[in-house]
Amino acid sequence: MGPKTAKVYETLRSRLARGEYPPGGKLPSERSLVEELGIGRTALRQVLARLVAEGALEVRGRSSYRIPGAVSVTPPEGLEPWQIHGERDIYDNKWVKLQLWDVEPPGVKRFEHHVVRLQHVAITAVLDDQDRVLMLWRYRFVPQQWGWELPGGIVDAGEDPAETARREVEEETGWRPKSVEHVVTYQPMVGMVDSPHEIYVGHGAERVGDPTDLEEAGHIEWVPLADVPGLMARGQLMGSGTLVALLHILATREKARATASS
């Protein structure tokens, strides 16, 4: 991509990340985008093809583009939530808080339920233009296992999780992402543990130096996305954040290929 084409790519990707185009909705026509962005139709199609390949857009027919995210299922109505009558701390420090909550599910006698509160974290999958993802080979002493992980860490108080995503990548790998896009916020063990995980995908990175977080840094490598299913089968992908991010990337790319060929 030339400078102008790259700028249009970043403009459209930023709009998609901010939600300016609603999920399931249509992207403005090629004619409208050509006039608005001051780009030729051939160059615009190059940008749109890249966004389709990344899963940021779906193509319908030859030149109709839609934003992913439309769903057909709706949540049921009339269900009652659990009632929470109180909570008390059992153990509390900087890293973990253990509590007992007095809860009452609908139609069930109230009881005390253990709740563990952990930190809020951000995890990032950074991709390059060769379909590789930036990963770390680490030893984790709790499962006593080596494996591949994505960079990530704790969101500091008052910090934007997107900034955490960028900071942790740079501290742990020495690479600075050119952009990061939020994918999902999820809870890895929702039945008992409160630990919000923010998943980001980054596109492109520049090497800015050596890792500065020596405790977290491991062997750093750009791993081909084609290796991900094999690494998963071997049990070498560690952590739910790593799995969620990589499965999202593979799923959106497969969906993009399917829609492009339909």
For 57, the token pair is 């857009």
Residue 53: predicted pLDDT? 78
Would you say residue 259 has pLDDT above 60?
no
| DSSP sequence for the chain | --HHHHHHHHHHHHHHHHTSS-TTPBPPPHHHHHHHHT--HHHHHHHHHHHHHTTS-EEETTTEEE-S--------SSPPPPEEEEEEEEEE-SS-EEEEEEEE-TTS--EEEEEEE---EEEEEEE-TTSEEEEEEEEETTTTEEEEE--EEEPPTT--HHHHHHHHHHHHHSEEES-EEEEEEE-TTTTTEE--EEEEEEE-EEE-SS-S-TTT--EEEEEEGGGHHHHHHTT-B-SHHHHHHHHHHHHHHHHHHHHHH-
What are the φ/ψ torsions at residue 55 (nearest 5 degrees)?
A: 85, 5
Question: Is 75 or 213 the better-scoring residue by pLDDT?
Answer: 75
Residues 6+ away with beta carbon under 8 Å from 70: 23, 24
- In percent, the amount of the chain with pLDDT more than 90 equals 65
Which residue ranges form the domains of the chain, and what is each CATH number?
A: 3-66 (1.10.10.10), 83-117 (no CATH), 121-261 (3.90.79.10)
Give CA–CA dist 68/45, Å, rounded.
Answer: 18
Which of these, 91, 90, 117, 93, lies nearest to 195 by C-alpha position? 117
Residue 217: predicted pLDDT? 65
Q: Tell me the pTM.
A: 0.77
Residue 255: predicted pLDDT? 66
Residue 218: predicted pLDDT? 74
- Whats the size of the chain, residue-wise? 262
Would you say residue 226 has pLDDT above 60?
yes
Give CA–CA dist 134/149, Å, rounded.
Answer: 9
Would you say residue 237 has pLDDT above 70?
yes
Residue 261: predicted pLDDT? 58
Would you say residue 26 has pLDDT above 90?
no
Helix (H) or strand (E) holding 11: helix 3-18
**Tens digits of per-residue pLDDT, 156-196?**
999 999 999 999 999 999 999 998 988 899 999 999 999 99
Would you say residue 1 has pLDDT above 70?
no
Question: Is 259 or 64 the better-scoring residue by pLDDT?
Answer: 64
* Burial readout 18-37 (b: 16 or more C-beta within 10 A, e: otherwise): eeebeeeeebeeeeebbeeb
